[in-house]
Structure 1
Amino acid sequence: MPLHMIKLCVGCDTVEDLVAWKAAEAGGKRPWTMQTRQTPKRAPEMVDGGSLYRVFKGAILCRQTITDIKTVGEGPNSRCIVTLDPELILVAPTPRRAFQGWRYLTETDAPPDLGVDGFGDAPPELARQLREIGAW
């Protein structure tokens, strides 16, 4: 069973903002990467089918498949570079409180991809409201 990573998306309010930011960054020619300080100890489990789930304004809204995890540099200057598949997959909006850094996310706790439960065409804001009242 793959292991996933969850991280706050800071500086973008929506998935569309993230896509626009990536397109503007270096003309969209560089691969999708995410940098963090700590390299996951369970990185092999994440590369083997795991995804990076992104939290926007208190809700998990999308994911990207993790293709590689590398540690760059040494000592206090070392960083972890997570390479991601460029395809963003929308997931059922799921509330998530703010946290620092990143966290592991198990397969059982990961939200389903949109379309799986029949509400794939719902606007994200409507989907969030339906989740909050327990109707979705």
Structure 2
Amino acid sequence: MIHMIKLSVGVSSFAELESYRNERAHWWDADYGEDVHVHRTRMMPKRAAEMEGLSSVYWVIGGQVVCRQPILRLGKFSNAEGINYCDIIMSRDMVRTVPYPKRPFQGWRYLRPEDAPPDLGANENADSLALAADLAKLGLI
């Protein structure tokens, strides 16, 4: 199994990313006939078989990994000009993670499970999220 890490470009908060999951599939004329969140990227992962139904996309917002979304499957898409893309079809569920600093990069990268930040517990609240984010910015977690 291998995860994917991706910058959420133009998104400034977890709440804003949540709001996009209702709209993304319609932006790209990608109707998968189910309640999913779709993100289109240029390249199909070579390790797709290790990802579908097993791994997650870890989203980087404001220089920190803040959440993950389980990958259901990866779909191929070709536009009218014949350019190929990869649709990352994800669960609508977003799981908050312990904030983890991440420098900017282009596209997406593989993320080994042992390098992925842990999920936050169900009992975490807004104060502990803010504290975790501050500690991560200082490089203490």
* TM-score, normalised with respect to structure 2: 0.81
The whole-number CA distance in structure 2 between the counterparts of 1:53 and 1:10 is 13
Matched, 1:38 2:31: no
Unaligned runs of 5+ in 1: none
- How far 1:30 moved relative to its partner? 5.6
Measure, in 2, the Cα distance between the counterparts of 1:30 and 1:114.
24
Task: Trace 1:40-119 onto structure 2 (pairs within 5 A).
Answer: 40-73=45-78, 77-115=83-121
1:47-95 CA-partner distances (Å, limit 9, x unpaired): 1410000000100000000000022228960000010011000000000
Gaps of 5+ in 2: 27-33
How big is the shift at 1:135?
4.6
The one-letter code matched in structure 2 to 1:112 is P
Deviates more, 1:121-130 or 1:14-23: 121-130
Give the distance between the partners of 2:59 and 2:107, measured in 1 at CA: 12
- 1:128 corresponds to: 133
**Could you say which residue in structure 1 is the equivalent of 2:29?**
none
Q: Structure 1-normalised TM-score?
A: 0.84
The 1:36–1:24 alpha-carbon spacing in structure 2 relative to 1, beyond 3 Å, is closer
Report the CA distance between 1:115 and its aligned residue: 1.5
Distance 2:64 2:51 in 1: 21
SS in 1 for 2:103: coil
Name whichever of 62-71 and 30-39 sits farther off: 30-39
d(CA) in 1 for partners of 2:20, 2:62: 17
The Cα RMSD (Å) is: 2.4
